Amino acid sequence: MNNQKIFIITGRSGSGKSTAIGVLEDAGYYCVDNMPVALLPKFLELPIQGDSNMAGLAFVMDLREKEFLARYPKIFQSLRTKGYELNIVFLEASEEVLLQRYSQTRRHHPLNHGRSLIDSIRAEEAQLRELRDASHHIIDSSKTNVHQLRVLLVDIVHQGKTTEPLRVNVMSFGFKHGVPYDADLIIDVRFLPNPYFVPNLAPLNGENEAVRDFVFNQPTTHEFLMKYLDLLDYLIPLYEKEGKAYLTLAVGCTGGQHRSVVIARAVYEHLNHPDKLIGIKHRDIGR
């Protein structure tokens, strides 16, 4: 019996299969786009199956492969007999939406062999009807944006299992050195009194106890930190639910030496728990 979870992403062209495979990749799955169905049994015999850090396998299969519809029933049934758990996710969208998407991307439909675009879309719908009926999950992406589609897919991927923890990176930086391009949330702590203007603290940095004491001895610091940490405690579970894989929290002051370092360290210590993946980086502390 093989316990490796396998997702087959399929459906109508233009319905969001590329987004789906990206969600699965972020969730720790080994992903292959446009996988020939005849190669699937051999692929599943590869040593990659034994990778304990891999959540599972995901393959996009659709009508880009001419033999897909003729071959998949026998191959899928054979794999299930061998103990493989295949989960078919079928994506679709309305004719109107598919026409709009194709007009925006200027891509050719895979069944565009002397047909108009609308005829190609309708021919694909008819050919995929049996596969759609056999699918475990059907997602209509007509009225969903990319983020909403991700939420739907994450719910399917993590059904009955623990979700992959969100990786949070806390970063201190100095505004005079530029805002970090990879930051998701930026908080400016330049409103706090600056240790730089205290002669004996200026040469030190925010990892020094004297600098930390100076920053935390300010009444504003405690009130601000309480409100900011409450906000993070509210937001981070929502990011996890949305399926976000990485979150960078940037804390900035003027030079990135004192205030931002102290606050970033406090944020890190608040968030750092054994079941969380939290890192900290002081980008400009050595400048």
Longest dimension (CA), the chain: 79
**Are residues 36 and 178 located together in one domain of the fold?**
no
**Are residues 17 and 77 located together in one domain of the fold?**
yes
**Are residues 244 and 112 located together in one domain of the fold?**
no
Confirm if 75 and 43 have CB atoms less than 8 A apart.
no
pLDDT at 50: 57
Q: Which of 157, 185, 214 is the last residue of a domain?
A: 157
pLDDT at 1: 45
Number of compact structural domains in the chain: 2
**Are residues 148 and 65 located together in one domain of the fold?**
yes
Can you give the residue range of the structural domain that contains 9? 5-157
**Are residues 33 and 133 located together in one domain of the fold?**
yes
The model's pTM is 0.61
Specify if 226 maps to a domain.
Answer: yes
**Are residues 192 and 223 located together in one domain of the fold?**
yes
Q: Which of 132, 157, 182 is the last residue of a domain?
A: 157
**Are residues 175 and 278 located together in one domain of the fold?**
yes
Give all strands of the β-sheet with 277-282 in edge-to-edge order: 185-188, 246-253, 167-174, 277-282
**Are residues 9 and 119 located together in one domain of the fold?**
yes
State pLDDT tens for residues 64-108. Answer: 999 999 999 999 999 999 888 899 999 999 999 999 888 887 778
Measured CA to CA in angstroms, residue 256 lies from 135, 193, 281 at distances of 53, 14, 11
Distance CA 191, CA 207 (A): 19
**Are residues 25 and 139 located together in one domain of the fold?**
yes
Specify if 162 maps to a domain.
Answer: no
Here the CATH number for the domain that contains residue 53 is 3.40.50.300
Specify if 253 maps to a domain.
Answer: yes
pLDDT at 148: 81
**Are residues 219 and 153 located together in one domain of the fold?**
no
State pLDDT tens for residues 255-274. Answer: 999 999 999 999 999 999 87
What residue ranges of the chain have pLDDT lower than 50? 1, 160, 162
